[in-house]
Structure 1
Amino acid sequence: MLSQKDNEMICRVGAGTPGGALMRRFWHPVCTSAQLPHPDCAPLRVRLLGENYVAFRDSAGSVGFLEELCMHRGASLALGRVEEGGIRCLYHGWKFSVSGDVMETPNHADPRYAARLKAPSFPVREAGGIVWAYVGPKELLPAFSRYAFMDVEPSHRVVLRVNVACNYLQLVEGGEDSSHVGVLHTNMARPGWKENEFTPNPDVVNPAALASNDLEPALKIEDTPFGFQYVALRKTADSQVRNARVVPFIVPYGRVIPAPAFLFTVLEVPEDDTHTSTYIVVHGDAPVTEAKIIELLGLNDPEYYDRKNCTFTASWADSFGQNRELMKENWSGLRGVEVEDATIGLSQGPLYDRSREHLVPADQAVVRVRRVLLESIKRVMENQQPPALGLDLRGVSACDRQLDEGAAWQDLLPSHRQTVAA
C-alpha cells in the first residue's frame, strides 16, 4: 500500500506540486507529427501537466508550442489562423512566430511596440513521429533524450496516441506489472487456456504473446541510470531454463515492452491529474503498418477509439463494451491489448487511492515505480538531478528470451548499465 500523502505527491502534476516540479524537468510528447500534418494546418489545443497550450506548424513546416491564451486579451490561439509564417489570434489579429516573436499587432500598428513583446513559447523538438516540448524552468533545460525508435525507417515504425481519462500512474503501473499479462491478456498470452493447454501465440507483433504459461513469475529488480529494470522469470518445461522477460522503467513514465519481433515504447504523459495521453511507438527491423497495430490493440472499433481526436471513448455507460456472452471463450470479454489495459485503468477511477490495496511479491516492480518516483521528487526538491534526465536512451530496450539456470539476467541487455548523457 501507499500512504495517501505519498499517493498525492506522485499523482498530482499541476504547477506548484512536488510531482509537477519533477515532471517539468523533462521533455514531453505533446502530439504526434501526424496531428500537425502539413504547413499552415489547423492548430492543436494541447493539455499538459494541468495547463493549456497550442501547437502549430508554420508555413516553413516548423512547429511552435505556445501558451494557449493570446497575450493581448486572452482569446484562445487554438482558434487562430495559421498563415504566412505564424499563428494569428482571431480576436484582434495579433500574430506570433513559432519562437513567440510578435509579428503583427493590427490594432496598434507600431513596430516598436511589437518588438518589445514576446509570447510565452517553449522549446520544441520533432523526432520519431512525435512533437516534444519542454515547459520547465528555462535555466534547467536538459539535453534532448533520444530513443531507439527515432533512428528507424518510418516504414518500420508506427506512432499512436490514445487519450485515457484517468491518472497517468494507473497506466504506468499496469505497464510495469508483468504478472497481469498472463491473466488480463489471457486469450493472447495463453491460447488454449480453455483446454488447460498452452499454445504459444504465433503473432510476432503481439506484446502479450508469452513464451510460458507460468502465472506467478519471480521478479528481480536492479536500479539503473534511467530508473530501473526488472526481469520476470517464468518456469518452462526444462527445469534448467527459465523464460526471462526484461522490462525497463524510464523516469518519469516510460517503458519498453517486448514482442517477439518488435518493441513497444510506451510513454504515459499526464495531461492533468485525471487525464493521460498514452503514446505507443512500435518499431522493429521489418515494416509494420498502422492498421495492424490498431487492430492488435483493439482500437479499430469506433466504440473504443476516436482516431481523429485520439481518444479512448469506452466508458461505464456500456460497461466498456464488455461482452459477457463472449467470456465463455474470451477471458476478459474485451478485445485488444490496449482496450483491456485502458479499461482496467479506467475501472480504478480517475485517481486511484493506493492506501487500500493488498500487495503480493508479484507487485515488486509496481512498488519500485512508486519508490523511484518518490525519490526522484525528493531529489528535485533538494535541487538535485532526477534519474534519466538528459540521457541518451537509445540503448534502453526490452527482451523476452530463454535464460539458462545460473546465468545473469542483466547480461541479456548489457546496454542498460551503460546509459550515458545525451
Structure 2
Amino acid sequence: MLSAADNELLVRTNQNTPLGEYFRHFWQPVALSEEIPLPDCAPIRVTVMGEELLLFRNSAGKVGLIDRYCGHRGADLFFGRNEECGIRCIYHGWKYDTDGKCIEMPNVPPGAAYHDTIQIKAYPTQEFADMVWAYMGPAESMPALVPQLEVGLVPSENRYVTKRLIECNWAHSMEGALDTAHFSFLHMPAPSQMNDDNPNVAADVKRLRWLRNDPTPRFTFVDHEVGFVIGGARHADEDEHYWRLTQYLLPNHSITPSSMPNEIYYGYSWTPITDEACWMYVYAWHPERAITAEERTRFDQGGYGQFAALGPGYLPLRNRSNNYLLSREEQRTESFTGIRGIAEQDQMAQESQGYILDRTKEHLTPTDVGIVRFRKLILDEVKALSAGNTPKAAHLGQAYRTRGGGALTADQLQLEEVMIERFGTKTGVVN
C-alpha cells in the first residue's frame, strides 16, 4: 500500500502539483488528428490536466492549442470563427493565432498601446501516429521529439488509432495495464465455453487454458532508460512457459502483452483530463503489413480485446452510467463477469475502484509487484524533479520504440533470454 502523501503525489496532475509538473515535461497526446481533420474546421474544447484549452487547425493546416477564453472579457473561443489563420472571438472580434497572440483587435483604436501586446496561453503541438501531441512544460526543457512509439513510425495503413473516455483517475487504468495476473479471472469465459468448437475462443483456447490454470504468474523485470519490461511466466504444456511481456514507458504509456509472433501489436497512452477522468489512447500496428479492412471494422465495433464499442464523444457504449450492461445470466453461463468486451471488463474493474483510489487501504500480494515497481519509479522521478533534476526520459524519444507481447518458451529461460528470443533485444527496443 501507499502512504496518504504518496497517493496524493500519484493522482494529482493539475498545475502546480509535483506529478502535474512532471507530466508537463513530456509531450502528451491531447486529441486525435481526426477530431480536427481539415484547415479551418470547427475547433474543439480539450481539457488537459485540469487546464481548459481550445484546439484548432488553421487555414494553413497548422494545429494550435490555446487558452479557451478570450483575453478581452473571457468569452469562450469555442464559439469563435476559425478563419484566415486564426480564431476570431464572436464577442468583439479579437483574433488569435496558433501561438496565442492576439493579431487583430477591431474594437481598439489604431495605434493604441494594446496592439501587439495581448498574449493568451498557448502550447506547442506536433502530430504523430494520428494523434495531436502538446508540450505544456517549461520552454527551456522542451524535448525535440515526441515519444517515438513504433505505431507512429509505420506507414499509416499499418496502424489503427482511437481513444476512449475513462471515468476514473489515470493511475487506476495505468495500473490495470501493468497487472496481467487479473486475466486469469476478469476475462475468462465460463468453463462451458472453453472448447475448440466455440468460435469466440477457438483461436485462443490454449492461451486461455494456461491463464486459467495458473493464476499466480511469476514476475521478473528488465529495466531500461525510459521504464521497464515486466514479464509474467505461467506454466503451459509440458516443459514450457507462457510469458506475457508488458512495457511500461514513462510516464503514461504501455505496450500490451497480448501479441504472439506475427500478430498485431497494441499499446495505450493515458492523458489526464482531470484527477477523476482521463483519455486512454488505444492503438494497433503491424510492422510488416497493412491493417485489413476486416480488422478495422472489427476494431470500430469493439470486436477485439483492446478496443471498446464506442458511442458519441468516444464514450464506451458499456460504461459506468449503465453498469456496463452487466448481464447476470451471461455471468452465470458465458463469462466470469457477465460484461461483454475485454476493454469494457477492464474499465469496469478500474472504475469500480472509485474516481480516486485510496491506496492506504490495499492489501497487496506477490502478483502486484508490477504495480509496486511502477509506483516507486514514477514517485522517485517526481521527487527527483522536485529536487531540480529534469527527467532524462523526456529527451530520449527514440528509446520509446519498443514492443511487448506473448511468448511460449522452454521453462528454463530467464526473462532477458525470453526477450532476446522474442524481440531480438533484452529490452524490446526495436533497432
Is the TM-score greater than 0.5? yes
State the alpha-carbon separation in 2 of the partners of residues 368 and 300 from structure 1: 27
Residue 34 of structure 2 is aligned to residue 29 of structure 1: no
Do the aligned residues in 1 keep the contact of 2:168 with 2:277 (CA within 8 Å)? yes
Q: CA deviation at 1:7?
A: 0.6
Q: 1:59 aligns to what SS in structure 2?
A: coil
State the alpha-carbon separation in 2 of the partners of residues 51 and 203 from structure 1: 45
Q: Which residue of 2 aligns with 1:74?
A: 74
Q: Which residue of 1 aligns with 2:247?
A: 248
Q: Which residue of 1 aligns with 2:358?
A: 353
Do the aligned residues in 1 keep the contact of 2:232 with 2:244 (CA within 8 Å)? yes
Q: How does 1:9-408 map to 2 (within 5 A)?
A: 9-110=9-110, 113-144=114-145, 145-187=147-189, 193-194=191-192, 201=201, 212-213=211-212, 214-239=214-239, 241-257=240-256, 258-260=258-260, 261-284=263-286, 285-288=288-291, 289-294=295-300, 295-297=302-304, 305-306=310-311, 308-312=312-316, 314-327=318-331, 328-386=333-391, 388-391=393-396, 392-408=398-414
| Shift in alpha-carbon separation, 1:215–1:36, aligned structure 2, 3 A | same
Do the aligned residues in 2 keep the contact of 1:57 with 1:64 (CA within 8 Å)? yes
Name which of structure 1's ranges 268-277 and 377-386 shifts more when overlaid on structure 2.
377-386
State the alpha-carbon separation in 2 of the partners of residues 91 and 416 from structure 1: 58
Q: 1:338 aligns to what SS in structure 2?
A: helix
Do the aligned residues in 2 keep the contact of 1:403 with 1:409 (CA within 8 Å)? no
Q: Percent of aligned positions with the same letter in both sequences?
A: 29
| Shift in alpha-carbon separation, 1:202–1:147, aligned structure 2, 3 A | farther
Q: CA deviation at 1:100?
A: 2.1
Q: CA deviation at 1:55?
A: 0.5
TM-score with structure 2 setting the length: 0.88
Do the aligned residues in 1 keep the contact of 2:229 with 2:427 (CA within 8 Å)? no
| Shift in alpha-carbon separation, 1:114–1:414, aligned structure 2, 3 A | farther
Name which of structure 1's ranges 338-347 and 116-125 shifts more when overlaid on structure 2.
116-125
Q: What amino acid maps onto 1:155 in structure 2?
A: E
State the alpha-carbon separation in 1 of the partners of residues 305 and 254 from structure 2: 20
Give CA-to-partner distance per residue, 1:133-168, whole Å, 9 cap, x none: 011111211232211011112222111111111000
| Shift in alpha-carbon separation, 1:219–1:259, aligned structure 2, 3 A | same
Q: 1:186 aligns to what SS in structure 2?
A: coil
Q: CA deviation at 1:416?
A: 5.9
The unaligned stretches of length 5 or more in structure 1 are none
Q: CA deviation at 1:394?
A: 4.6
Q: What amino acid maps onto 1:166 in structure 2?
A: C
Q: What amino acid maps onto 1:88 in structure 2?
A: R
| Shift in alpha-carbon separation, 1:65–1:202, aligned structure 2, 3 A | farther
The unaligned stretches of length 5 or more in structure 2 are none
Q: CA deviation at 1:279?
A: 0.2
State the alpha-carbon separation in 1 of the partners of residues 43 and 133 from structure 2: 15
Q: CA deviation at 1:378?
A: 0.9
Do the aligned residues in 1 keep the contact of 2:14 with 2:50 (CA within 8 Å)? yes
State the alpha-carbon separation in 1 of the partners of residues 362 and 243 from structure 2: 28
| Shift in alpha-carbon separation, 1:6–1:234, aligned structure 2, 3 A | same
State the alpha-carbon separation in 2 of the partners of residues 76 and 419 from structure 1: 44
Q: What amino acid maps onto 1:252 in structure 2?
A: P
Do the aligned residues in 2 keep the contact of 1:185 with 1:337 (CA within 8 Å)? yes
| Shift in alpha-carbon separation, 1:299–1:4, aligned structure 2, 3 A | same
Q: CA deviation at 1:264?
A: 1.1
Q: What amino acid maps onto 1:167 in structure 2?
A: N
Q: 1:106 aligns to what SS in structure 2?
A: coil
Name which of structure 1's ranges 390-399 and 175-184 shifts more when overlaid on structure 2.
390-399
Q: How many residues align?
A: 410
TM-score with structure 1 setting the length: 0.90
State the alpha-carbon separation in 1 of the partners of residues 48 and 321 from structure 2: 27
| Shift in alpha-carbon separation, 1:107–1:219, aligned structure 2, 3 A | same
Do the aligned residues in 2 keep the contact of 1:209 with 1:259 (CA within 8 Å)? no
Name which of structure 1's ranges 314-323 and 80-89 shifts more when overlaid on structure 2.
314-323
Q: 2:238 aligns to what SS in structure 1?
A: coil
Q: What amino acid maps onto 2:226 in structure 1?
A: F
Give CA-to-partner distance per residue, 1:167-220, whole Å, 9 cap, x none: 000000000001112321113xxxx7337768994558x9x9786542221100
State the alpha-carbon separation in 2 of the partners of residues 279 and 77 from structure 1: 26
Q: RMSD across aligned C-alpha pairs, in angstroms?
A: 2.6
Give CA-to-partner distance per residue, 1:43-63, whole Å, 9 cap, x none: 111111111111001111111
